[in-house]
A and B are shown apart, each in its own frame.
Chain A
Amino acid sequence: MNDFLNQVRLVGDWLTSSQQWHGDDGIPHRLAEHLTYSGVSLLFAALIGLAFGLLVGHTGRGAFAVASVANLARAIPTFGLVVLVVTLAGLSTTPVLVALVALAIPPILINTFEGVRGVDPVTRDAARGVGMTEWEVLIRVEVPMSLPLILLGLRIAAIQVVATATVAAYPGLGGLGRFIVDGLSRNDYQLVIGGSAVVVLLALVVQIVFTALRRVVVSPGLRVSASRS
């Protein structure tokens, strides 16, 4: 218990010391870097994952391929991928982003696909029957009905990306991983735990943002516990 309190105090001291809030090595700058890596990766992953997830979910073709690709991608170790791409492509942000995109695609792809495929066939039939084109069936019925799962996929991806973007520090890039990597090499325990705490806080914020987003964009009609009249 004492040990835990000590750690909390360490983190507190680190977070509140003014040197952490200025310059290239300060929290705001590193946070901005971190958010840039995460945001860009997530954007690309979402574009790819949503496009394929919607396409395959709607047409029903390629379902097996989606499952295989997603499982395969999940088995790839992110850190290994970063090292591999750095070795092949040289030191730049690209290998890190590629690795993060690869990490983020599977949850988005799988959940989007499952969401669309899970739409009640009766509802889909009704949508076509009242005269929706295939595109309208997708955009007006399948997407809004799969939103809970699509958001879940995006949230899982976002949290993983935010947590994993720390690996960017290994090949010498910035982001919140800098604190951890530098702390480890300098044996500066306070730096390691302080940096970790910021990453954890960021992941929590992502979680909260997605929960709020869900409230706003998911139709109340889709909430399971809707009361009967």
Chain B
Amino acid sequence: MIRFNAVSKSYPNGTTAVDDLSLELAEGGITVLVGPSGCGKTTTLRMINRMVEPTSGTVSLRGRDIREVHAPELRRGIGYVIQHAGLFPHRTILDNIATVPLLLGWSRKKARARAAELLELVGLPEEMAKRYPNQLSGGQQQRVGVARALGADPPVLLMDEPFSAVDPIVRAELQAEFIRLQKELHKTIVFVTHDIDEAIKLGDNIAVFRTGGKLAQFDTPEQLLAHPADDFVAGFVGQDRGIRRLSFVKAGEVPLRDGPVLTATTPVAQARAAAEAWLLVVDDGRRPLGWAPAAELPASGTLADASLVPLGHTFSLVGDSARAALDSALLSPARLAVGVDADGAVVGVADAQELSAVAAAEVGEPAANAEKADGDDR
């Protein structure tokens, strides 16, 4: 799809931004280019739409050398999203989104209709259409930036640190939206970030660059975490890559045990007989109500009379990852993660120790890993 063949970029002052890069990006997935600043990731991205011309080597898009295409024409066929959105302040939101269709010569009416569609697609209310960029928050502007890039429905989307200028909460929101959008649109996306967490969260494939414009490793996130090619990559993916790996294990694969689950109608005497420090109290539908500390049970009556400690949060066996399960274990007053099914009924519990065994089991099984990743609905 996008192919770099022995591409280098150096500047007259002697700095080399990209050094002999050969890379092939598959169609229909998100490839993340990640690395420290000055590693050439943005230059690499910008060579795809000819915003930067390589010093040597060729870049081809769908088998065609991109230098054969007039640069503006090439760019109209490639979506481009940048860090601070770069919206046109003198145009309304709707006209910003309609930019590329208008450049392509669509009628104003058709371009605006398309823009209205995209506004909705990126989750902005209709009344934003008539506003101007400086009336929007950073996160909203970034959504408009994505909508503008999608204007003419390009097969390829280039995104240069699109979410790094917004606060962490908005960033997480935008990332989630982005994943949802990609599920719907199946674009070929090249995404630049300096944030390895973002790379792992979003990427189907990750290219790690090192300073000096060298490609250090190109792999799936699972492989990158399990088998970093060298010390640089290992250092870059960080010390907590063991925990990150849990993101790729589905919660459904976590071994659960029954645990001290009792209904609220259980008499206190019977509850005491369970001889557990914490009792998980559930209702008739096995939906969890809270934890009852055994030491503070009332003298008589049923568990409904006991004072309950809130659950923290449970994890769902459908949809959540083992990482959410671990989080749930660590935050639970009983140090037990509570797994629930689609209806919210308790299936079982697991502690942090048991969960870490899952991570350990995953290490060193790249083949099994890859399979799981394929089916993983991130």
Q: Which residues of A contact B (CB under 8 A)?
A: 120, 122-123, 125-133, 136, 140-141, 144-145, 147, 219-222, 226-229
Contact = CB atoms under 8 A, between A and B. Distances in A.
Given A129-B49, A131-B73, A229 B131 contact: yes
A131 B132 contact: no
Given A125-B86, A126-B87, A131 B103 contact: yes
- Looking at chain B's contact residues, is the secondary structure mostly helix, strand, loop, or mixed? loop
B212 interface: no
A123 B75 contact: no
Contacts of A125: 51, 82, 86
A132 B92 contact: no
Given A120-B86, A126-B85, A147-B90, 18 more contacts: A123-B87, A125-B51, A126-B82, A127-B86, A129-B49, A130-B149, A131-B77, A131-B103, A136-B103, A144-B90, A145-B88, A221-B91, A221-B92, A222-B90, A226-B135, A228-B134, A228-B135, A229-B135
Contacts of A228: 134-135, 137
A112 to B, nearest CB: 16
Interface of B: 49, 51, 72-77, 80, 82-92, 99-100, 103, 131-137, 140, 148-149, 151
B75 A226 contact: no
Contact of A226 (B83, B86, B132): B132
Given A128-B75, A130-B100, A229-B137, A220 B132 contact: yes
Given A130-B100, A130-B103, A221-B133, A123 B86 contact: yes
Contact of B86 (A126, A132, A220, A221): A126
- Looking at chain A's contact residues, is the secondary structure mostly helix, strand, loop, or mixed? helix
Given A221-B92, A222-B89, A129 B76 contact: no
The listed residue with most B CB atoms (<10 A of its CB), out of A145, A219, A222, A228, is A219
25 contacts: A122-B82, A123-B87, A123-B88, A123-B89, A125-B51, A126-B82, A126-B86, A128-B72, A129-B51, A129-B80, A129-B86, A130-B100, A131-B73, A131-B75, A131-B77, A131-B100, A132-B103, A141-B88, A141-B90, A145-B88, A145-B89, A226-B132, A228-B134, A228-B137, A229-B131
Contacts of B72: 128, 131-133, 136
Contacts of B83: 122
A122 B137 contact: no
A16 to B, nearest CB: 46
Given A122-B84, A229-B131, A130 B89 contact: no
A7 to B, nearest CB: 46
Contacts of A132: 72, 103
Nearest to A228: B135
B82 to A, nearest CB: 6
B132 A219 contact: yes
A139 B99 CA distance: 13
Nearest to A129: B80
